[in-house]
Structure 1
């Protein structure tokens, strides 16, 4: 099946600061974060939370809350929840800053009372040219299964811990929270993978295999394994329980070209209890321009490459849906977004030039999680962000396929009717 290039979606919101990270807080609440850094450019630092709906024709988003982080740009973050509250864990320079997010269910009448007037909105937008506020798409969304209840967020800063100790310009590059919510992993420019107890953020383990800065991390679905990739070209699966290296990812690049892993994500293996898959994207090292990148699938238990597909340019971002069915990638130069079936790595959606610059983050609308899912005619939908300040969404419409048993019955009926017709005419 050829991938579709058609999308009924597109821009969800536009902010006037660069975006570097995106996470889903609930099934319909999306957090995006970034900023202009510590320099006095007038560009704010912080994050935005949007509520996403489907109005029967397309996805739309409504701004829920904005939280500014002062002089500290948010370069990476992770989100998790427990029975009491949600946590946003933000990478800010060499430190990991925790934000406590309390969720409250409120009625539309209460939201209307707390919303600013038109005059206040105009004043905010006027001042945003100086303070770099956020301009959201505020068309009132209507969801097919929406009710009068909405979620309101209260955000308060919590603890902060230093996670990178490079002598010059230390920087945390990635943070991840384990699916069971008990562990946090960080990596940065010093090349050390650190595992922390969460939410106390006390250090438990240090893995010092990498010789260069860590680019990405991810926990396995059972929270027992951790994968790390770095600019030294290594991809390592760690056994957390035994505090040792489990497997080393190795493959034979085409034509002897050196490749570096860029992103890594675990995914659930459909139909196999306790089985997971590992996905990575890899780019050629030291080459400039539109070079061929790879989307790869691995068996994390053996460290063997099980499948891969090439892409006609370098890749920048990667996401796997929570049920393990779909994988999405974003490109480095054209700002394009593509979606693949996880099992076969068959491309089913391609949106060229979704962004004007490289795609910094992707996140699927989840199938499971906190709150009711979004009702739509889409089989899958992924949110994308970029340093072009745009938050976009791209959906895959349900593919019209025939179940195998129906196809078999049709074949049998066709053969039978052909036999009857031939007998009737005497052949």
Structure 2
């Protein structure tokens, strides 16, 4: 049985607005966004960027940048970085807002502050006395971010209440997919935001979108109950994912994420889906499903006793994380078998709105080196939490060799005794 932990020690940061979206900007930096909307409640709208570290006992986070977005709440976002530049797109009402994200290395004692019309600020942090020397050789340097608004384009055209519900940048950084309340998926050239195609298959608003790591697959799910697999380059529908639902029940897909199939050809894609029942009967289960993208075949699934709200897959394909609706719980699963390896009951006081794994890194100085897996979770309870899977105990190689040698020796002695 997977271990269960209390949520109190997992709180990484608190912000002063409800959180709806989360993205890793680097191995150490996470961006969270949300807000209170356009009503004059005094609750801010915008982003915050935190630097994550481990002090030897626990994870800690320090706010390095805050960017407010005026009356527009940030419901969803997606980021992309290459060797030259970083970009962020955010859903603000019916529009997609493109941002340039510039990083700068500053000294801790520098008074770096940029607060203007865009409400972007890099806050001052005083250096400790022991870090200061006459020639400043021991002064600690930190990475800060400047978020600058660029182009904005309307992506949803629902006449009554247009709303961009979800967006995703392709892994190669050349295409953006958006979906909202007008029931269509729109493909855009990125980062120019030039329209490429409009995909029509759903009859209700779009709930989630994702691009595959390899190939041209795009998956979309909507409130009409459909999950459609597309060729994103050709704008062509390839398949509709169908499965045998329990008799007397109707299910809607909530979230979808592509992953890699561990141990197989790296160009093959796994597809993970959350399916919730539409009924209210307590005996109805929700499901985490694993599909083979090629052919659209259901490979494996596991049950949950409550509705599911959030999903994440680690970049190397080894782990999947799931967040729940009512109990605010988070669980980590081995991607290959979907076996639950960690359960955090009541991680949040309200439903989980987003999950994001810390990226895999070979750098032993990053936060990911202290645990086998670590996933961040957010909620409308204003908390950013982190949940870690400790390195599971394995038998050292020398013990295995010793056991093998002893077994062979005892077998030889036994055979000699029987004169075989």
Residue 91 of structure 1 corresponds to 91
Partners of 1:215 and 1:412 in 2: CA distance: 57
Q: 2:267 aligns with which of 274, 277, 289?
A: 274
Which shows bigger deviation, 79-88 or 287-296?
A: 287-296
- Identify the match of residue 299 of structure 1 among 292, 296, 303: 292
- For residues 405 and 301 of structure 1, the distance between their equivalents in structure 2, rounded to whole angstroms, comes to 41
1:183 maps to which of 155, 175, 187: 175
2-structure distance, mates of 1:243, 1:169: 26
Partner SS state of residue 398, structure 1: coil
How much has 1:412 moved relative to structure 2? Answer: 6.6
Structure 1 residue 274, shift from structure 2 partner: 0.9
Name stretches of at least 5 consecutive residues in structure 2 with no aligned partner.
Answer: 115-120, 129-137
Match of 2:247 in 1: 255
Farther off after superposition, 82-91 or 191-200: 82-91
Partner of residue 164 from structure 1, selected from 156, 159, 176: 156
Q: Is the 8 A contact 1:164 1:187 kept in 2?
A: yes
- Aligned partners of 1:191 and 1:259: how far apart in 2? 19
Post-superposition offset of 1:243: 1.8
Deviations, residues 265-299 of structure 1 (Å, cap 9, x unaligned): 00122232211110011100142768521000000
2:274 and 2:288 in contact (8 A); partners too? yes
Aligned equivalents of 1:183 and 1:204: distance in 2? 9
Could you tell me which residue of structure 1 aligns to residue 133 of structure 2? none
Partner of 2:349: 356
Distance in 2 of aligned mates of 1:177 and 1:99: 13
Equivalence map 1:121-136=2 (5 Å): none
Per-residue deviation, residues 136-156 of structure 1 (Å, max 9, x unmatched)? xx9x9xxxxx99332111111
Cα distance, 1:417–1:379 mapped onto 2, change above 3 Å = same
Q: How many Å separate the matches in 1 of 2:405 and 2:303?
A: 39
Matched, 1:148 2:146: no
Q: Is the 8 A contact 2:268 2:294 kept in 1?
A: no
Contact 1:212/1:232 (CA < 8 Å) preserved in 2? yes
How far has the Cα of 1:169 moved from its partner? 0.6
**TM-score scaled by length of structure 2:** 0.88
The change in CA–CA distance for 1:228 and 1:406 in structure 2 (over 3 A counts) is farther
How far apart in 2 are the matches of 1:37 and 1:361? Answer: 18
Deviations 1:388-426 (A, max 9, x none): 110000000000123799758736734743774797799
Runs of 4+ residues deviating >4 angstroms: 288-291, 368-372, 403-409, 421-426
- Which structure has more RCO (C-alpha within 8 Å, separation ≥ 6)? 1
Residue segments in structure 1 that go unaligned for 5+ positions in a row: 117-132, 141-145
